[in-house]
Amino acid sequence: MCDVEEAGGHETLDLVRDAGGTGHFARVDVAAEDEVSAFVDDAVRRYGRLDAAVNNACAEVAGPTMDLPSSTFDELIDTNLKGVYYGMRHQIRTMRTTGGGAIVNQSSVTSTIEAEDDNGLYGATKGAVNALTMAAAVQVAREGIRINAIASALHDTPGDVWHGFSESQGLDFDHFKEFIPLKRYGTAEEILGVTMFLRSDASGFVVGEVLVCDGGWTIPSPGAFG
């Protein structure tokens, strides 16, 4: 696994090891293609091959969509869109040498599914991730490489973008719970379950999908929020 934030990366690695797993962490800026390429190559050297990958590149700056500086949009594109592109580019490169694999990209419901006027630049990058996921999936499916994405929202996990968005808007995070049909937040385990499904053989006929995992948040049903 990799991240630009070393403390969080090492903490996650410790959790993996505490659960009986193994792993390796490296500090990587996903906005730098040479660092992403080197990380993928290092993973193959360590483990022999790459069968599955998750691209969870994320930066968020909340604010009025058309009033934020252009430099903010550049920052979000570099991380959220180019980071995913670089990841897929080099993951596909090595998967082609071993006969295939599965890639899961992290998107968001704040993409092409719903709109937030104070989160539009982030949403635009995630909408682009959806488009990139579908286009890449069609290109490489014949090579045994499946690519899908998860559009998630409202998971009570450390560092989740909804926590940051709530803070930036001066809202209590629990404010959103009343608008979720399940009346609770999602868990890290539930996002993991969806991710593992999309990288497993159980989803072998699923290609280019953007799977929504939001507790029913985006279902346009008048009775859902009663």
**Residues involved in catalysis:** 122
Concatenated DSSP letters for 177-196? Answer: GGGSTTSS-B-HHHHHHHHH
Pairwise CA distance, residues 22 & 87, whole Å:
21
Asked if 85 contacts 34 with a C-beta cutoff of 8 angstroms, the reply is: no
DSSP for residue 155: B
176: part of which helix (H) or strand (E)? none
Concatenated DSSP letters for 58-101? Answer: -----S-TTTS-HHHHHHHIIIIIHHHHHHHHHHHHHHTTTT-E
